[in-house]
Amino acid sequence: GQNIDQPTEMTATEGAIVQINCTYQTSGFNGLFWYQQHAGEAPTFLSYNVLDGLEEKGRFSSFLSRSKGYSYLLLKELQMKDSASYLCAVRDRDNAGNMLTFGGGTRLMVKP
Amino acid sequence: NAGVTQTPKFQVLKTGQSMTLQCAQDMNHEYMSWYRQDPGMGLRLIHYSVGAGITDQGEVPNGYNVSRSTTEDFPLRLLSAAPSQTSVYFCASTIDSSSGNTIYFGEGSWLTVV
């Protein structure tokens, strides 16, 4: 089965930088996704990594190390609207038709 | 462009009742799936389909049935609702299982079983 771990909660200050970590174990790694989910809403796509390294998209960046089974999402210049849950999800070609398996999510609270 | 449409958005059921959550997508996606989301547990895969006529079980399939008679529709049936099935349900679709293709989610269905 899958094992995806990320912190349950984090708190950061408006304007600061925060890093949300995710570790995973898969047999047939086929990509890692980060989703943002505001309370009461559906998840929305943030980033995708399949090769090692950093992917930057505006204020958000995502890093992947396949050898370490590790990823992080970096949020810069935090805004109040960034308060949400951040979901790490992995595609595994050996599991469930290559569907995404999600971690439990990290609830980020941004304070003034 | 409607994307992924789920109905109903909210539903209260009594224990033992049956119901169907509807899901439709207009993007001609082959892959569709149902997830449930419970507090602190992320999204867990219930059932999925890789094309019309093909379905398979995910991580938590017990108590649920699915069918995929058309590419567009992927209904989820609760056979005999139980309080443990109180959850938020998300339908999702993607064009195929290529690693870079993102998943599109419906808006969610909030189900309470009393």
Query: What is the pLDDT confidence band of residue A1, given thresholds at 50, 70 and 90?
Result: very low
CB contact under 8 A, B99 and A31: yes
Contacts of B50 in chain A (CB under 8 A): 97
Q: Does B1 touch chain A (CB under 8 A)?
A: no
| Residue B1: per-residue pLDDT | 56
Nearest Cβ partner of A42 from B56, B97, B107?
A: B107
Averaged pLDDT, A100-104: 91
Q: Name the residue of chain B whose CA is nearest to A49's CA.
A: B100
Determine the pLDDT at residue B97: 66
User: Which residues of chain B fall short of a pLDDT of 70?
Assistant: 1-2, 97-100
Rounded Cα gap, residues A73 and A21, in angstroms:
7
Which of A87, A91, A98 is nearest residue B42 as measured by Cβ atoms? Answer: A87
Instruction: Tell me the C-alpha distance between B107 and B59, whole Å.
Output: 21
Residue among B40, B48, B100 minimizing CB distance to A31: B100
- Residue A56 CB partners (closer than 8 Å, separation 6+): none
